[in-house]
Chain A
């Protein structure tokens, strides 16, 4: 469960990126977050990742109150989340397998659990057989699927994707969206930031439209808001 209550965010330089966000997302929901560049989409994600702190209001994710969360507890909290970025952020010198395993290693997962889990996640994202490839040997769509596998590695309850299809061609984008929906069907909450009208309209999911730091539209089965 994600709950924004009148959340405002001012960056240290004075920019008011969010001007009072009220947003509730239930467990297992699929939500598109849309809006022009500069609307505040990435800021919402940074607040959720606790990369930035809210300036005022209240932000609660499951049983974590993010305005009160101490630095010490942040790693624990982040293991609830899996995140995917537009630019994949894979390690170029690690294989597909190692990139996924890395996420488990750094939180101290025993080797034998890693060896059991990685192949099954790679199957989930349709990458079986690519274990030993390096990121530069596979397509953009495949790289994004590796990133998605890494996001899933520690079995988070929420998946957050910031413009996941921004750097890949349309046919591959469709495949990524399909995967995100599949992951959602597996019971995970999925937030997808995007401004690809075609995809948003096609999938008929909940669409939250952001403009200038405010939510201007929030419709289930909604369409991309042309005015925004």
Chain B
């Protein structure tokens, strides 16, 4: 093969696409939907993972002490906790992972975080219990630690963020399972439609193809316009899908951020836009090329 002009193939490809207008449109619409769904799903998983990681990194358990407990009792509870395994220590072995937050300290923090809301609550009518914030060393041993903490007399509640993380993780896996099936179906449908669109082009050009064969055109020369056709469908779909994803993501981002302020971290679209665009192009072009190769199949052989 030598000296072929790439614009020849691209020109032929556009002619084909134009001639099969409706099928081209359907192919692009379906592939685009597939990409938007893949993108939305991946972005959701990435964001969930970031938040799971954040929970995981906190390495914190908060325990609340009975409101009736005396000062000595509270100190005794503190010492019992410090004696447990899996509590953060410094290099010389001193326990650093247990911090007591008294009920007045707790109230102060609460007032600071929500200015104006708790103004009528004072130390006299403070309903908060004392609490300990515990930093542990090994996530794997958290269930054990959790159990031990619950055994200590005077502790009324153990807030283990890992429970929440596990809950989210399970939810994520559940969603993933559903989506993977959904994606497989969408992928097969897109491929089927692209294959048929390009088959139409091949069919419309079968006389031309047969003449090309008789005069000795190579297989790649005959196939390239159709491969480009697949690539063009892929590129157009990816670019449209990118803008739709952008719009949808910005919308969801605003919703989540305003509703769960400070609780959930959400990546901005800027953080991920590169990956979304290149991911879309890669999947889009791959689907297009696989589709055209399938449609050419026997045609380019003889």
Does the CB pair B214–A108 fall under 8 Å? no
How many Å lie between the Cα of A51 and that of B301 in the bound state?
10
A12 within 8 A of B: no
Shortest distance between the CB of B2 and any CB in chain A (Å): 5
- What residues of A have a CB within 8 angstroms of the CB of B214 in the complex? 49, 78, 81, 83
Q: Which residue of B lies closest to A150 (CB)?
A: B215
Interface size on A, residues (CB 8 A): 25
A47 on the B face (CB < 8 A): no
| Contact bitstring A41-65, B, C-beta under 8 A = 1, else 0 | 0000000010100000000000000
Tell me which of B212, B301, B302 contacts A106 (CB under 8 A).
Answer: B212
Question: Which of the candidate stretches B106-114, B155-163, B217-225, B248-256 sits at the interface with the other chain?
Answer: B217-225
Are B211 and A75 in contact, CB atoms less than 8 angstroms apart? no
CB distance from A98 to the nearest CB of B (A): 12
Q: From residue 98 to 143 of chain A, which have CB atoms closer than 8 A to chain B?
A: 102-103, 105-108, 110
Q: Are B3 and A89 in contact (CB under 8 A)?
A: no
On whether A154 and B215 interact (CB within 8 A), knowing A51-B302, A106-B221, the answer reads yes
Chain B: minimal CB distance from A44 (Å): 16
Task: Answer whether residue A39 sits at the interface, using C-beta atoms and an 8 A cutoff.
Answer: no
B4 contacts the other chain (CB 8 A): yes
Q: How far is the CB of A34 from chain B (nearest CB, A)?
A: 23
Contacts of B212 in A (CB 8 A): 106
Task: Output the residue of A49, A76, A107 with the most chain B CB within 10 A.
Answer: A107
Tally the A-B contacts, defined by beta carbons under 8 Å: 55
A79 touching B208 in the complex, CB below 8 Å, given contacts A51-B302, A106-B221, A108-B4:
no
Mask, B267-302, CB within 8 Å of A = 1, is: 000000000000000000000000000000000011
B177 CB within 8 Å of chain A: no
Q: Given B219, B221, B222, which contacts A108 in the complex, CB threshold below 8 Å?
A: B221
Chain A residues with Cβ under 8 A from B208's Cβ?
91
- B208 → chain A, closest Cβ, in Å? 7
Q: Is A15 an interface residue (CB 8 A)?
A: no
Asked if A153 is at the interface of the complex by the 8 Å CB criterion, the answer is yes
A74 to B216, CA, bound (A): 7
Binding site for B on A (CB under 8 A): 49, 51, 71-72, 74-79, 81-83, 89, 91, 102-103, 105-108, 110, 150, 153-154
Please give the residue numbers on chain B whose beta carbons come within 8 Å of chain A beta carbons, in ascending order.
Answer: 1-4, 8, 207-208, 210-219, 221-222, 301-302
16 contacts between A and B (CB under 8 A): A75-B216, A75-B217, A76-B216, A78-B214, A81-B214, A82-B215, A89-B210, A91-B211, A105-B8, A106-B212, A106-B215, A106-B217, A107-B216, A107-B221, A150-B215, A154-B216
